[in-house]
Amino acid sequence: MATATVRVKKGTTAEWIESRRVLDDGEMGLELTTDGHRIIRIGNGATEFMDLPVSFDIEEVREIKKGMDDNAKTYYEDMVKRGEEYIAEIKAMATTIELEDEATGIKYRMGLSGGTMYFEEMKKEDTVPDAGGDTEGGETGGSSEESGETENTGQEENE
């Protein structure tokens, strides 16, 4: 395998214009502009350096990269902000389900409020009055204290 040293011709924009140099086919030249850009052009063996198309402008690539970085940063910051807003909405939701134990007639309420899940036995004043009369055992209802022991649901009351 053969090795070769690549020597890049280098000059300022003014030097390239003055020299009117034609690069060999595949030969690279580096132009240093007054704005600080480093522009690479590749020769074709016939065209003057300044008339060759720009192959690579390092500063232009840096500008594109900076724009991409800024856009990505803005995008991700926006996604975080929207995620935090959604979490706040979910925490603010109050979802409640009311259940009744048919065997005891005890009513329970469970739900989400402020991001916390709760399960509680409803107090007598929280329940809708029974318009149907007596229960199976002849009682008219009441709180769990009046009804005696209830089946353990595995949940603790959270008030």
| Residue 108 domain-assigned (yes or no) | yes
Q: Is residue 151 part of a domain?
A: no
In this structure, is residue 76 part of a structural domain? no
Same domain, 59 and 112: no
Per-residue pLDDT reduced to its tens digit, 25-48: 989 999 999 988 899 999 999 999
Does a structural domain hold residue 80?
A: no
Q: Of residues 49 and 126, which shows the higher confidence score?
A: 49
Query: Which residue range forms the structural domain that includes residue 107?
Result: 94-144
Is 111 in the same domain as 56? no
Question: 158 lies in a domain?
Answer: no
The count of domains in the chain is 2
Q: CA-to-CA distance for 90 and 67, rounded, in angstroms?
A: 34
pTM above 0.75, yes or no: no
Pair (59, 98) in one structural domain = no
Residues 3 and 59 in one domain: yes
**Residue 154 is assigned to a structural domain of this protein:** no
In this prediction, residue 143 carries a pLDDT of: 40
Domain-located, residue 86: no
Residue 128 has pLDDT above 70, yes or no: no
> With contact defined as beta carbons under 8 Å apart, do 98 and 119 qualify?
no
Any residues with CB less than 8 A from the CB of 157 and at least 6 apart, and which?
119, 120, 121
The SS3 call for residue 11 is strand
Q: First CA to last CA across the chain, in angstroms?
A: 81
| DSSP assignment of 86-104 | HHHHHHH-EEEEEEE-TTT
